[in-house]
Amino acid sequence: MKAKNNKEIVKILSTYKKIGKDIQKKFSQFRKIGKRLKDKEIFKELCFCILTVQSKAENCWKCIESLDDANLLEKGSSDEVMRRLKGVRFHKNKAKRIIEARSSLQILVRMLEYETDSTQIRQWLVENVNGLGMKEATHFLRNIGKADNLAILDRHILRRLHKLGIIEKIPESLSIKNYLEIEKKMQIFAESIKIPVNHLDFVFWYQETGRIFK
């Protein structure tokens, strides 16, 4: 997929040169989590991605840390979890989804241990963890160093892809089919400019927000 905006490509390459080492550090941290496969770490990242739907990532992580400090992620009731989700949209439903996700944790950890195909793991997550769509499932896998060549198609990424001419318009919603089609276009573009697609996520995010987070 050839982008139409050469000036934007120059900016991407310049940004990657600037923050590439920081991105590498992030992925080093993510891979350590994926190698350790500790239930608590995996569950924190899973719950974080459940919370991020239509909510600010930084605030969601603060809520996760608060829940973890109070030992409520693994043992708290739905009401106890909900009270800690300050500033998170749909906090009541998301609290219930965190409780539901506990029952899938052991199966998920075993799958992460033995399954090497990230697309298969993502599909399982979408089908079995309430609150995770394609974007959130990919985000989770990225944050444990197992996303491989998958792309997190959030609004920041889609805006950049549209600006580059890689997609004709920003979709109002993404079906699984549309997600995979746009992801493929982003993968081809990333390959053409010699930046790993999961690194390109960070570059686009940085260009939109001026920061690197989770």
Residue in 94, 135, 146, 201 annotated catalytic? 135
Per DSSP, the residues of 2-42 read: --S-HHHHHHHHHHHHHHHHHHHHHHHHHHHHHHH--HHHH
Question: Which pTM value belongs to this model?
Answer: 0.94
Query: Among the options 154, 163, 169, 177, which is catalytic?
Result: 154
Average pLDDT over residues 7-14: 93
Q: How many helices (H) and strands (E) does the chain have?
A: 11, 0
Give pLDDT, residue 4: 62
pLDDT for the residue 92: 97
Mean pLDDT of 89-111: 96
Q: How confident is the model at residue 3 (pLDDT cuts 50, 70, 90)?
A: low
Report the half-sphere exposure of 67 (CA within 13 A, side-chain side): 32
Are the C-beta atoms of 82 and 92 separated by less than 8 Å?
A: yes
pLDDT classification of 95: cutoffs 50, 70, 90:
very high
pLDDT score of 2: 56
Average pLDDT of 201-207?
A: 92
SS3 60: helix
Give the pLDDT mean for 104-110. Answer: 96
Angle between helices 176-192 and 134-143 (to 10 degrees): 50
Is 102:42 a contact under the CB 8 Å cutoff?
Answer: no
**Whole-number mean pLDDT of the chain?**
94
**Up-side HSE of residue 121: CA atoms within 13 Å toward CB?**
26
Predicted confidence at residue 6, as pLDDT, reads: 83
Q: Which domains does the chain have, with CATH numbers?
A: 6-30+151-209 (1.10.1670.10), 34-143 (1.10.340.30)
pLDDT in tens, 27-73: 999 999 999 999 999 999 999 999 999 999 999 999 999 999 999 99
Give pLDDT tens digits for 147-180: 989 999 998 899 999 999 999 999 988 999 999 9
Q: What is the pLDDT of residue 208?
A: 84
For range 104-129, the mean pLDDT = 96
| CA angle in degrees (0–180, nearest 5) for 157-122-138 | 25
pLDDT beyond 80 at 1: no
185 is catalytic: no
Residue with tokens 């973890």: 68
Is position 194 annotated as part of the catalytic site?
no
